């Protein structure tokens, strides 16, 4: 019998992308193979996101689609695995709402996936594992066996104790927990050995990391350790919380050459009243002061952020303060969302919900401003030279796409390149979402 095949689909944040990679490695180590592109898999794994209603609803429509595709093609339906944050939050509900799901596994339990698949097969019933043993999965997973890729994520911290009043993450990912530095460094070395050039350290509150056995070793210390690893070209991290920014972290941006001049620092709103209602535990001025200090340490630092419009009680004045904050900071890019009431979160129960149409209209205004800033940021690079990390071939023959230090995609016409090389390019054009560049011959070796 040929080995059973699997296909994984990721929804949600970088951590889900990372978890999907680890699940793929685990399944491969357990004798499964990845389904070929375009071929039906024996196991369909959906790694889900619960952050907004839209993300959750997508799961149910995808389960239906998998079932009807199998039926239309006269195949047996594949074994369906629901992993990730919806599995954690709505495990029991999935069982009743979506018959035809075989395994439901939470983000802290997926190291048991091979056993769960066996169990489901033997029992013919849906099995559910949403235990939350703190970070136990990392010790139980096989070592990294990732295919060489220029840029890789590395989870260093998981979970969240912040309890912003709109957010499900503390419930789906559990309490803040840090992986030991020795494990992180071993994983980083394995990735670099496999040819990775850029590491992005990830965590729901990545800068809350501290060595579990020695809290004096904090996130800034860890950055220094990783930046010193041979073979590392670039270092990034995401997502950081303004509350966990330390003096040492700001200083690291001025000291570590490998640390890229780009920071994703979510603010959510520019209004102190809304920030307090969100339980962000920082004000507008705190945020602006942090930005100024980061920029003083690293003058070419570009910023990105997350915003929510239409949080309960948000008035036009509050929203105007968000727009004013955006004007004041000037973002290179940003993510913005219409507030989505999530079951079990305090904000969802508030009586002063903002009508969806108002939230949507504010979102459109905010996004127009952010798009304008992004284009201006991109245009400002035309005529400059910068280094890019080549990641993948472009659409046309001889074209390659790489990333600038500021996360911009840069398209270069240069047939001789390969993924994972750092090359110097002259920026010749700029659009809203990418730059065009020309190889600077001298640095192309």
Instruction: Give contact residues for ligand F3S (rule: CB under 6 A).
Output: 12-13, 15-16, 49-51, 84-85, 168-169, 172-173
* From ligand SAH, ligand F3S, ligand SF4, none, interface partner of 85 (C-beta below 5 to 8 A by class): ligand F3S
- Residue 160 binds to ligand SF4 (criterion: CB under 6 A): yes
How far does Cα 220 stand from its chain's mean position? 20
Could you tell me the smallest distance in angstroms from the CB atom of residue 139 to ligand F3S?
21
Closer of 58 and 162 to ligand SF4 (Cβ): 162
* From ligand SF4, ligand F3S, ligand SAH, none, interface partner of 170 (C-beta below 5 to 8 A by class): ligand SF4
Token pair in block for residue 107: 């983000």
CA angle 377, 379, 380 (to 5 degrees): 65
CB-based contacts of 37, cutoff 8 Å, min separation 6: none
**Rounded distance, CA 310 to CA 357, Å?**
9
CB-based contacts of 92, cutoff 8 Å, min separation 6: 128
Residue 156 Rama label (left phi>0; alpha psi -120 to 50; beta) = alpha
**Rounded distance, CA 39 to CA 47, Å?**
19
Could you tell me the smallest distance in angstroms from the CB atom of residue 168 to ligand SAH?
7
- What's the sign of the alpha-carbon dihedral 319, 321, 327, 329? negative
* From ligand F3S, ligand SAH, ligand SF4, none, interface partner of 78 (C-beta below 5 to 8 A by class): none
* From ligand F3S, ligand SF4, ligand SAH, none, interface partner of 188 (C-beta below 5 to 8 A by class): none
- Residue 362 binds to ligand SF4 (criterion: CB under 6 A): no
Nearest residue to 268 (alpha-carbon basis) of 313, 315, 327, 319: 319
Q: For the purposes of burial, counting CB atoms within 10 Å of the CB of 341, is it exposed (0-12), middle (13-18) or buried (19 or more)?
A: middle
Token pair in block for residue 226: 């990783």
Site string for ligand SF4, 228-267 (x = CB under 6 A): -------------x--------------------------
Closer of 112 and 362 to ligand SAH (Cβ): 362
- Beta carbons within 10 angstroms of residue 388's beta carbon: 26
Residue listed under structure tokens 């969100």:
278
Closer of 15 and 223 to ligand SF4 (Cβ): 15
| Count of alpha carbons within 13 angstroms of residue 266, beta-carbon side | 21
172 contacts 132 by C-beta, under 8 angstroms: no
Closer of 151 and 238 to ligand SAH (Cβ): 238
* From ligand SAH, ligand SF4, ligand F3S, none, interface partner of 15 (C-beta below 5 to 8 A by class): ligand F3S
* From ligand F3S, ligand SAH, ligand SF4, none, interface partner of 163 (C-beta below 5 to 8 A by class): ligand SF4
Binding site for ligand SAH (CB under 6 A): 51-52, 166-167, 169, 204-205, 239, 241, 266, 268, 306, 308, 337, 339-340, 342
Closer of 295 and 338 to ligand SAH (Cβ): 338
Q: What is the DSSP string of 318-387?
A: HHHHHHHHHHHH--SEEEEEE----TTSGGGG-S-PPPHHHHHHHHHHHHHHHHHHHHHHHHTTTT-EEE
Closer of 60 and 163 to ligand SF4 (Cβ): 163
- Residue 274 binds to ligand SF4 (criterion: CB under 6 A): no
Residue listed under structure tokens 């957010």:
167
- Residue 342 binds to ligand SF4 (criterion: CB under 6 A): no
Closer of 48 and 239 to ligand SAH (Cβ): 239
CB-based contacts of 232, cutoff 8 Å, min separation 6: 188, 192, 197, 199, 226, 258
Could you tell me the smallest distance in angstroms from the CB atom of residue 423 to ligand SAH?
33
* From ligand SAH, ligand SF4, ligand F3S, none, interface partner of 16 (C-beta below 5 to 8 A by class): ligand F3S
Helix (H) or strand (E) holding 185: helix 181-193
- Binding ligand SF4 (rule: CB under 6 A), the pick from 20, 155, 172, 204 is 204
Tell me: cis bond preceding 305? Omega within 30 of 0 counts. no
Could you tell me the smallest distance in angstroms from the CB atom of residue 136 to ligand F3S?
18
Judged by the rule CB under 6 A, the positions of this chain that interact with ligand SF4 are 160, 162-164, 167, 169-170, 204-205, 241
């Amino acid at each position: 019998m040929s080995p059973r095949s699997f296909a994984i689909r990721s929804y949600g944040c970088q951590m889900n992308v990372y978890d999907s990679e680890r699940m793929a490695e685990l399944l491969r180590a357990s004798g499964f193979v990845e389904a070929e592109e375009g071929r039906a898999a024996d196991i369909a794994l959906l790694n889900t996101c619960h952050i907004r209603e839209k993300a959750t609803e997508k799961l149910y429509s995808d389960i239906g689609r998998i079932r009807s595709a199998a039926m239309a093609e006269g195949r047996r339906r594949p074994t369906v695995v629901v992993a990730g944050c919806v599995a954690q939050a709505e495990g029991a509900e999935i069982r009743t709402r979506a018959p035809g799901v075989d395994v439901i596994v939470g983000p802290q339990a997926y190291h048991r996936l091979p056993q769960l698949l066996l169990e489901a097969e033997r029992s013919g019933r849906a099995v559910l594992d949403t235990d939350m043993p703190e970070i136990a999965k990392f010790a139980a997973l096989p070592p990294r066996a990732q295919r060489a890729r220029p840029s890789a994520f590395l989870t260093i911290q998981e979970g969240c104790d912040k309890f912003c009043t709109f957010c499900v993450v503390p419930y789906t990912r559990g309490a803040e927990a840090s992986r030991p530095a020795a494990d992180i460094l071993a994983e980083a070395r394995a990735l670099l050995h496999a040819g990775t050039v850029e590491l992005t350290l990830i965590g729901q509150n990545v800068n809350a990391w501290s060595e579990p056995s020695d809290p004096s070793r904090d996130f800034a210390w860890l950055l220094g350790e990783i930046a010193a690893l041979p073979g590392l070209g670039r270092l990034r991290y995401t997502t950081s919380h303004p509350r966990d920014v330390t003096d040492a972290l700001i200083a690291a941006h001025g000291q570590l050459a490998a640390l890229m001049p780009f920071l994703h620092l979510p603010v959510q709103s520019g209004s102190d009243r809304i920030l307090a209602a969100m339980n962000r535990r920082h004000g507008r001025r705190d945020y602006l002061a942090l930005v100024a200090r980061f920029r003083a340490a690293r003058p070419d630092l570009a910023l990105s952020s997350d915003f929510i419009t239409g949080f309960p009680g948000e008035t036009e004045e509050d929203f105007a303060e968000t727009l004013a904050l955006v004007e004041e900071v000037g973002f290179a890019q940003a993510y913005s969302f219409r507030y989505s009431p999530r079951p079990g979160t305090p904000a969802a129960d508030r009586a002063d919900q903002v009508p969806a149409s108002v939230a949507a209209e504010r979102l459109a205004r905010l996004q127009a401003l952010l798009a304008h800033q992004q284009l201006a940021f991109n245009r400002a690079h035309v005529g400059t030279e910068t280094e890019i990390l080549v990641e993948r071939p472009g659409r046309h023959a001889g074209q390659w796409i790489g990333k600038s230090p500021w996360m911009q995609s840069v398209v270069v016409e240069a047939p001789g390149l390969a993924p994972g090389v750092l090359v110097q390019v002259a920026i010749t054009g700029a659009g809203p979402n990418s730059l065009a560049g020309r190889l600077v011959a001298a640095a192309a070796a």
